């Protein structure tokens, strides 16, 4: 069945909820892998190993998500092509994104090690932790090709509204990674190197499975590659501009969290480890809310492609309501169960006590930040790269000024207050543009 016969999504809370649930589960599995990594490493009984994995994961996360545009632009452009019933474009979008993902992934795998020392200096990691981090990253960088391919796979599926398949792929990767972590790190005694090997294997096999699934899906829909347009310079320039804008936004966003970790490291290894535990909870809730934002993105892209602007904006409104309800449930749930969960993830008592004392700030971030997630999803669906970039630039500047004021006086509590403010700063400019500027004039 080709794109020409695709139906636009159902304009209702029910339709969005049905699509959102598998995406929420799929998205939540991503940081849960980080929680599993932390729990496995914590069983080694070494605070230095826990801090090393936290530092290594931050560096790897920064490098990989610098290329998160592969997911975002693929989703937006595919969704708009589906909505506009342009039957020749989905395969074209997929091939261009895959070629770029493979090239960039291999480049990161080969050259990523050159960034390790710079990242460690930026994070202010102590030398005994830095040595362990280098050992971890030397292997983990080879997960880059698989991870970037997975970005493209998820983007193309999201553009088609195929949330169920996204969930199946994510669940498979997560289960494989969890099993390999346990086997290689604890049973075989390979330490943090085993953790890195498990990440590489699960990412590579997940990427292969995704490629197989997308090939079958394209064949079933009768998609054919328009080779004459593959290297069209005008289209490639437009794609490069969109990718660049989204990349700048992503770099700024990751830099704000890198600053958080860097300042945490300057407060000591135990603070860094405690914040690493709490940031896993922040990630889990963020990816859950991103599941709703992804639905807003997919709906907005397809309605935008079909030139149904009002329906696209209605999708944002429904997403905001759903996210508000979800954020309240998450805040209450973490307030009740968070201290217990911290004990599971961080059995080192000093780290667990610190994490519990700061837990309130992490538990209620969903309520503070839900609107910025939904607005991000809406503007990603519309492929408005410049708007997204400019909003993040303003938010980053405000966040930096606030950090300069609160960090020296309030320490770790000041870091969390500034992080709360960052979510508000991100939402304000996007909300202003959405309310007061005509959508086709972006």
**Percent of the chain, pLDDT > 90?**
50
Domain assignments of the chain as residue spans, ordered by start: 10-441
Q: In this structure, are residues 203 and 162 in contact, taking their beta carbons and an 8 Å threshold?
A: no
Q: Coil, helix or strand for 185?
A: helix
- Residue 207 pLDDT level (bands cut at 50, 70, 90): very high
Question: How far lies 278's CA from each of 34, 343, 352, in Å?
Answer: 11, 11, 10
| Cβ contacts of 179 within 8 Å, gap of 6 or more | none
φ, ψ of residue 124 to 5 degrees: the values are 65, 35
Res 4: pLDDT? 45
Residues 161 and 9: their CA atoms lie apart, in Å, by: 8
Res 255: pLDDT? 86
pLDDT surpassing 70 at residue 343: yes
pLDDT surpassing 70 at residue 338: yes
Residues 296 and 306: their CA atoms lie apart, in Å, by: 15
What is the reported pTM?
Answer: 0.86
Q: Coil, helix or strand for 363?
A: helix
List pLDDT tens digits, range 44-63: 776 778 888 878 887 887 78
pLDDT surpassing 70 at residue 33: no
Average pLDDT, integer, range 85-94 = 89
Res 3: pLDDT? 44
Res 442: pLDDT? 47
Res 29: pLDDT? 65
- Residue 35 pLDDT level (bands cut at 50, 70, 90): low
Residues 163 and 25: their CA atoms lie apart, in Å, by: 10
- Residue 320 pLDDT level (bands cut at 50, 70, 90): very high
pLDDT surpassing 60 at residue 5: no
pLDDT surpassing 90 at residue 42: no
Report which of 37, 100, 110, 77 is spatially closest to residue 279, judged by C-alpha positions.
Answer: 37
Res 119: pLDDT? 83
Average pLDDT, integer, range 412-434 = 94
Higher pLDDT, residue 8 or 379: 379
Q: Is 69 exposed, middle or buried (0-12, 13-18, 19+ CB in 10 A)?
A: buried
Res 350: pLDDT? 84
Residues 113 and 438: their CA atoms lie apart, in Å, by: 46
Report which of 338, 362, 31 is spatially closest to residue 170, judged by C-alpha positions.
Answer: 31
| Cβ contacts of 294 within 8 Å, gap of 6 or more | 20, 23, 27, 75, 158, 163, 377
Q: What is the DSSP letter of 441?
A: G
- Residue 2 pLDDT level (bands cut at 50, 70, 90): very low
Res 120: pLDDT? 85
Residues 342 and 363: their CA atoms lie apart, in Å, by: 12
Q: Coil, helix or strand for 306?
A: coil
Q: What number of residues does the chain have?
A: 442
Average pLDDT, integer, range 199-216 = 93
- Residue 231 pLDDT level (bands cut at 50, 70, 90): confident
Res 114: pLDDT? 84
Q: Identify the weakest region by mean pLDDT among 165-169, 283-287, 347-351.
A: 347-351
pLDDT surpassing 70 at residue 366: yes
């Amino acid at each position: 069945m080709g794109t020409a016969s695709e139906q636009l999504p159902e304009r209702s809370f029910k339709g969005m909820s049905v699509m959102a649930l598998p995406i929420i589960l799929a998205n939540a599995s991503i940081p849960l892998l980080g929680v599993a990594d932390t729990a496995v490493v914590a069983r080694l009984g070494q605070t230095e190993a826990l801090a090393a994995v936290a530092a290594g994961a931050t560096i790897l996360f920064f490098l990989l998500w610098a290329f998160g545009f592969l997911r975002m632009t693929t989703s937006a452009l595919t969704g708009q092509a589906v909505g506009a019933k342009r039957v020749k474009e989905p395969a074209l979008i997929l091939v261009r994104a895959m070629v770029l993902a493979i090239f960039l992934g291999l480049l990161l795998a080969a050259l990523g090690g050159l960034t390790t020392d710079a990242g460690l200096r930026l994070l202010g990691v102590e030398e005994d932790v830095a040595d362990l981090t280098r050992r971890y990253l030397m292997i983990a960088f080879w997960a880059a090709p698989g991870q970037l391919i997975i970005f493209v796979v998820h983007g193309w599926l999201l553009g088609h509204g195929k949330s169920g398949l996204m969930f199946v792929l994510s669940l498979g990767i997560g289960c494989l990674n969890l099993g390999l972590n346990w086997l290689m790190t604890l049973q075989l005694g390979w330490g943090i190197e085993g953790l890195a090997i498990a990440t590489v294997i699960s990412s590579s096999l997940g990427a292969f499975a995704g490629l197989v699934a997308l090939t079958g899906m394209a064949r079933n829909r009768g998609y054919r590659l328009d080779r004459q347009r593959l290297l069209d310079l005008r289209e490639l320039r437009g794609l490069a501009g969109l990718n660049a804008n989204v990349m700048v936004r992503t770099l700024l966003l990751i830099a704000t969290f890198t600053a958080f970790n860097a300042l945490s490291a300057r407060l000591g290894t135990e603070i860094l480890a405690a914040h690493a535990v709490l940031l896993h909870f922040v990630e889990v809730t963020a990816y859950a809310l991103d599941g709703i934002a992804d639905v807003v993105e997919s709906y907005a892209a397809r309605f935008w492609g079909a030139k149904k602007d009002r329906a696209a904006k209605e999708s944002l409104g429904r997403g905001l309501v759903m996210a508000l309800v979800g954020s309240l449930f998450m805040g209450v749930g973490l307030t009740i169960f968070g201290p217990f969960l911290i004990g599971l993830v961080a059995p080192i008592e000093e780290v667990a006590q610190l994490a519990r004392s700061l837990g309130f700030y992490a538990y209620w971030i969903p309520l503070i930040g839900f609107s910025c997630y939904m607005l991000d999803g809406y503007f990603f669906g519309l492929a408005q790269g410049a708007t997204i970039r400019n909003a993040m630039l303003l938010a980053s500047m405000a966040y930096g000024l606030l950090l300069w004021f609160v960090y020296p006086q309030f320490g770790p509590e000041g870091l969390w207050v500034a992080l709360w403010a960052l979510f508000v700063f991100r939402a304000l400019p996007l909300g202003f543009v959405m309310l007061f500027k005509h959508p086709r004039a972006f």
